[in-house]
């Protein structure tokens, strides 16, 4: 084993720098064998071959009084080849166990060092092959493809083997292969640096790459689609609004046409109408719902007093409902005559309420009048020409607003609509008239007993001034004859 180790490794010896008992160095011209012979004493071929004479070891460095000798100090290395033959051993001259152990340890350390250097050289070669491939791709990409990311520089010093522990503070001589690797890495670094400097200039001077063009085209297409979608949504909203308006108008026209056809059918079934004066008609609402009603074409002006009279015949089982209602844009209950549920008959002015002591549930014809003035809110109520109730403070000093809608048979929750079936009137209505002052009790009595034909000076009962909707119809009516029959 010693012959094999002597052929491939050097045994490290230390020579103390001070000129103590160590022998003098051989001449420079002497070969390695003579240098080793000069360094080692003739009588000692043991551990002196590794660490020098025992005297040199003993005299190296300071020594504490009474303590063990200090460890040796090393200054340089001398490689001494071993003889191919094993030394002749004899009694007292052979190496001891400690020296053999030191030799084995040194040989194992050198073997590990050699293997580590070999492994590092292999890793460096792989790194160079990888950098060469990346560099080739970078150079090829500058001619045809968009700029590639630069390969980060690899410090050449990282390839140099660091000093390993156990080699006495100095690495072995660097082999030529490592220096060649370092030079190749430096050359690759220089080429990569030049490519990185050329990339911005080429990128600025060249046209946009294909991925960039595709991305821009995609963004443009998305913006166009968003604009088209927004335009389509706006168009649909406008069409929906127009359709809603058209639907309301169409519904109004259809109801008007249906009413005209129903009136014609009624005429054909019962013969021609039995009245010639324009006011000799009545409006019939046969069913309690929220779509049968009559509408006055004319509205009211601004009023500070009024009298409203009419003939009515209720067919309701419970409350009378709403014989008439007047609504304006700012107030749905500007003037309302209403009997709802178990409540008594009420007169509402500007949503203020006065209860009327009238009884109209006997399914007979009755003449009803209500009068009001803004001064102190005075009001009075008449049934069949007789005053049944009166009071004050009903919407005092309020002026009746103009440009509203008069509906017969329904209570308006909004201007001209939003009817409630539970508040609808069921029966017959006739001779609805409006005056702009409070009529005298004698005038109201003349209207009730048919001795007077006084027409309202604001709203008159005329066939051309009344529209019916939803199935309500018009028929002949003679007030006094109907009253006598009742």
- 326-336 per-position pLDDT tens digit: 999 989 999 99
Average pLDDT over residues 410-422: 91
What pLDDT, on the 0 to 100 scale, is given for residue 359?
A: 85
What total number of domains does the chain contain? 1
In terms of residue numbers, what domain contains 473?
287-484
Q: Is residue 392 part of a domain?
A: yes
Q: Is residue 354 part of a domain?
A: yes
Q: Of the given ranges (100-109, 240-249, 277-286, 453-462), which has the lowest mean pLDDT?
A: 240-249
What pLDDT, on the 0 to 100 scale, is given for residue 196?
A: 67
Q: Is residue 261 part of a domain?
A: no
Q: Is residue 249 part of a domain?
A: no
Q: Is residue 433 part of a domain?
A: yes
Domain with residue 456: its CATH number is 2.60.120.200
Q: Has residue 383 got a pLDDT over 90?
A: yes
Rounded Cα–Cα distance for residues 283 and 293 (Å): 9
Does residue 340 or residue 31 have the better pLDDT? 340
What pLDDT, on the 0 to 100 scale, is given for residue 373?
A: 95
Model pTM greater than 0.75?
no
Q: Has residue 271 got a pLDDT over 80?
A: no
What pLDDT, on the 0 to 100 scale, is given for residue 51?
A: 43
- 8-27 per-position pLDDT tens digit: 554 444 434 444 444 444 44
Q: What is the dihedral of CA 271, 275, 279, 284, to 10 degrees?
A: -30
Quote the distance between the C-alpha of residue 150 and its chain's center: 39
Q: Is residue 118 part of a domain?
A: no
- 88-106 per-position pLDDT tens digit: 445 555 566 788 888 888 8
Q: Is residue 75 part of a domain?
A: no
What pLDDT, on the 0 to 100 scale, is given for residue 248?
A: 77
Q: Has residue 481 got a pLDDT over 80?
A: no
- 281-307 per-position pLDDT tens digit: 999 999 889 999 999 999 999 999 999
Does residue 220 or residue 49 have the better pLDDT? 220
Average pLDDT over residues 35-47: 41
Does residue 440 or residue 22 have the better pLDDT? 440
Q: Is residue 193 part of a domain?
A: no
- 175-198 per-position pLDDT tens digit: 666 677 777 777 777 877 777 676
């Amino acid at each position: 084993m010693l012959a094999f180790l002597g052929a491939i490794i050097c045994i490290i010896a230390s020579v103390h720098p001070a000129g103590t008992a160590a022998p003098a160095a051989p001449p420079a011209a002497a070969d390695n064998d003579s240098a080793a012979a000069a360094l080692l004493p003739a009588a000692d071929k043991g551990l002196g071959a590794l660490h020098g004479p025992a005297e040199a070891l003993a005299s190296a460095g300071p020594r504490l009084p009474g303590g063990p000798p200090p460890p040796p100090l090393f200054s340089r290395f001398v490689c001494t080849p071993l003889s191919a033959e094993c030394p002749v051993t004899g009694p007292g001259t052979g190496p001891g166990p400690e020296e053999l152990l030191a030799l084995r340890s040194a040989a194992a350390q050198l073997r590990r060092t050699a293997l580590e250097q070999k492994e590092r050289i292999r890793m460096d070669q792989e790194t160079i092959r990888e950098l060469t491939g990346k560099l080739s791709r970078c150079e090829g990409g500058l001619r045809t493809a968009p700029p590639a990311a630069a390969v980060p520089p690899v410090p050449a010093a990282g390839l140099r083997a660091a000093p390993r522990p156990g080699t006495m503070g100095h690495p072995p001589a660097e082999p030529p292969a490592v220096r060649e690797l370092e030079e190749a890495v430096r050359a690759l670094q220089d080429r990569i640096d030049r490519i990185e400097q050329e990339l911005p200039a080429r990128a600025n001077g060249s046209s946009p790459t294909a991925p960039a063009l595709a991305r821009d085209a995609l963004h443009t297409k998305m913006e166009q689609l968003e604009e088209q979608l927004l335009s389509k949504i706006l168009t649909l909203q406008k069409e929906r609004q127009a359709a809603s308006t058209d639907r309301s108008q169409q519904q109004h026209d259809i109801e008007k046409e249906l009413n005209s056809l129903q009136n014609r059918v009624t005429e054909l079934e019962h013969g021609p109408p039995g009245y010639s004066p324009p006011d000799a008609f009545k409006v019939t609402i046969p069913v309690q719902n929220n779509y049968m009603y009559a509408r006055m074409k004319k509205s009211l002006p601004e009023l500070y007093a009024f009298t409203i009279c009419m003939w009515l015949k209720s067919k309701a089982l419970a409350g009378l409902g709403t014989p008439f209602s007047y609504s304006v844009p700012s107030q749905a209950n500007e003037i309302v005559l209403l009997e709802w549920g178990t409540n008594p008959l009420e007169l509402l002015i500007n949503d203020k309420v006065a209860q009327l002591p009238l009884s109209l549930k006997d399914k007979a014809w009755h003449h009803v009048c209500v009068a009001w003035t803004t001064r102190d809110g005075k009001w009075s109520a008449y049934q069949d020409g007789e005053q049944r109730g009166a009071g004050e403070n009903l919407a005092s000093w309020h002026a009746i607003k103009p440009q509203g809608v008069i509906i017969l048979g329904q209570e308006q929750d909004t201007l001209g609509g939003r009817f409630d079936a539970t508040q609808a009137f069921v029966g017959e209505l006739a001779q609805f008239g409006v005056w702009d002052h409070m009529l005298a009790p004698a005038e109201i009595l003349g209207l009730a007993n048919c001795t007077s034909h006084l027409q309202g000076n604001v709203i008159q009962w005329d066939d051309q001034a009344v529209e019916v909707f939803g199935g309500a119809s018009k028929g002949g009516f003679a007030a006094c004859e109907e009253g006598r029959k009742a």
